[in-house]
Each structure stands twice: as C-alpha cells, then as structure tokens.
Amino acid sequence: MTAFTRSFHLRPLGIVGGAAAAAALESGAGQRLAGGRLAYTACGIFLISEGEDGAGKLETARVLPLAETISWADREGDATAAAMHDWLKRVSVSPPPFAGLALDCPAGSLPLIMGIVNVTPDSFSDGGDHADSASAIAHGIEMWEAGADILDVGGESTRPGADPVAVEEELERITPVVRGLAERGARISIDTRHAAVMVAALEAGAQVINDVSALTHDPESLGVAAKSGAPVILMHMQGEPRTMQDDPRYGFAPTEIYEYLSARIEVCAAAGIDGANILVDPGVGFGKSFDHNVDILSCLSLFHGLGCGILVGVSRKRFLASLSRDEAPKDRLPGSLAAALAAVDQGVQMLRVHDVAETRQALSVWDALNPVP
C-alpha cells in the first residue's frame, strides 16, 4: 500500500476468540478475521521507508483500535483511505476454498493439517526414515488416518545446505508414492521446484503443487501450474537451499516477504492462475536468521492482507532448538506445537507438520477454547 512518498502495511491485532470474539462482533468493535471464528479489534501500522540499499526499512510501528485506524487512514487522504478500505475487505472476508477444503473455519473443521511425507535420504528431520516407496506410503496412510487433510510428498530435500537432486531421481522417488497414496484416497500435494515433477505427480494423482520457490526455479513451472488448473502454494525463500542460510538479510523481513508474495500472486494471475487457487507460505527457516523467523511468526496476521489462505511450516525447525536446549529435530515436538498454536491464534489456516496426531490433539484443545461465535 502507498501513502504519498511513504509506504505502510497493516496487520490485524487484538485478535480474540470465543465469547470475546462474539462480543466484539456484536458491538462493532471488531471484525471477523479472514471470515473465520476469530475477530480482530485493532490494527498494527508499519510505516516503511526505503533504505540506501533499496530495502524497505521499518520506520515506526503503531497500534490503534480498529475504528481509530480507519479514522487515521481517512485523515491521511483519499489514497490511504481507499487502500485501507480495500485492505479491510481482504482481511475480513474468507478466502475461497482451497483444493476442496474450506478456509473459513465454519464449525471446528479448521485449522487444516498438511502431513509431511519425505521420500528422501537427507531431509533435516526424517531423512532416510521413509526413503523407499512402501515405507513412505505406509507413513502417509498413517498420517491420513491420524487426521491429516492433505499429504505433502517430496523427493528433494530443501534443508539448509542441501544439494540439488536430478529430476530423474526425484521422479523415481515420488511417482510410486503419489500413485500409491492417491489410490488409497488421500489428498496429495507435490513438494517440488521442477516442472517435470509437477506434471508427473499430477498425472499420478496429486492435486496440489507446493513450490518452495513460488514457481520461480523452473521457467516452465508457471505454465505447468496455469495449464493444469491445480491449486498452488507459493512459498518465500531468499536464495536457494544450498546457500540460503549463509547470510540472509532483510530491511524488515515480514513486510519484505509480504511484498514478494504479493508480486508472485500478480505474476500468477497474469499467467492465468486463478487467485482462488493460491495459498501463501512465508517460508519460516528458508533464508532467514533466528531473528527473522521470530519477526515473521510475530507478524503472521499481516499476510491476511494478501487475500489468500496462509500455510505455515514450523515443525521441528532449527530455530526452535535455539530457543531451548539445542534439541535434535525429533525432540522438538513441544516447540513445534507451541509455534503452531501461536500461528493459529493469528488466523493461519493450514499447518505443515511431521507429527499429525499430536498436532490434531493440540488443535482439538484450541478448538474447544475458541468456539465459533
């Protein structure tokens, strides 16, 4: 959004659920967040100025009640007022269903869970655990029966420092797994950066494309996604897996990532991809330092301004251990659940996780404490 010579970003704050949400909606003090069960009653205003390096620098941040934010925008002039009211529409209205899954949290069905099925020898957490097809299929079915709404099958590790995998090898890994899971009735996304793998996976029964490069790595991927009509998940990553953690830098990570994803949505629209078929992922841990990750998780509600559903993947990631006792990946479940619930408290609609049953249990408690108002 632009106001004269300076840009600003808004994020919903004062987010409440249950009886507090009902009261805020009834009194007019709040609006539904993304059409769901939570309500927001305030706004955070990030004022951004351009630094000498061209990156957007956080100049100041303010928090105002919702009504006062609207009054502030009106005082700033017609352009700011119009941008504010457009933002209100995007943030308050439910995104359209994604891959047949409702994103408006109508009656306890959300947040959605994406179960991770890595068919790799070198993924950071479970590399080698399910590297053969039979084991990966069995693991996927276990996740599906534990309550996953979608299974994300990947044949190339994108952990920090990972080397690229030949497309032929990636195809050998994922094709039988996608087919096997699809034959058993599971909803599947394909986690890949390569157009040829997208095509093969969709032919084998996958329904969603999940690309950590937001359809930028392979010049043919944008066309494949548009032609297929498949829903796509656009993730932000600074750099590429092999070097992304060397020295990631941002002016202010949340708003810079927001602008990137906004631009990718526009590119997708120009290529013929329906906006209803897009989910966004800010890419926690992909070309981000510890501080960047914390800033992003603190500002997840910002991304509702894109008008899309939001997916967040925090499961077992390194920054969780940095906050604790440097635990190994498989010992990071408590931190994973805490971060996931913090995301859900900001209206995130989908979680990408390794531990489906445990996440489903945690969400069941959250669900009971946040009834639909």
Contact between residue 354 and residue 126 where contact means Cβ atoms under 8 Å apart = yes
92-111: string of b/e by CB count within 10 Å (b at 16+)? bebbbebbebbbbbeeeebb
Angle formed at CA 274 by CA 269 and CA 279, multiple of 5 degrees: 95
154-179: string of b/e by CB count within 10 Å (b at 16+)? bbbbbbbebeebebeebbebbbbbbb
- As a whole number of angstroms, the distance between CA 13 and CA 50 comes to 25
Q: In a 10 Å sphere around its CB, with 0-12 CB exposed, 13-18 middle and 19+ buried, how is residue 32 labelled?
A: buried
Q: How far is CA 105 from CA 17, 296, 351, in A?
A: 12, 23, 14
- Return the residue matching tokens 């709040």: 30
CA 242 to chain centre: 22
- As a whole number of angstroms, the distance between CA 39 and CA 32 comes to 4
Which residues lie closer than 8 Å to 336 by C-beta, 6 or more apart? 314, 315, 316, 317, 320, 353, 354, 355, 359
Kindly state the tokens that stand for 228.
Answer: 């297929």
The residues that are catalytic are 317, 352
Coil, strand or helix: which one is 226?
helix
Give the DSSP letter string of 149-207: SEEEEESS--STTPPP--HHHHHHHHHHHHHHHHHTT--EEEE-S-HHHHHHHHHHT--
247 C-beta neighbours (distance < 10 Å), count: 10
- Return the residue matching tokens 């957490």: 125
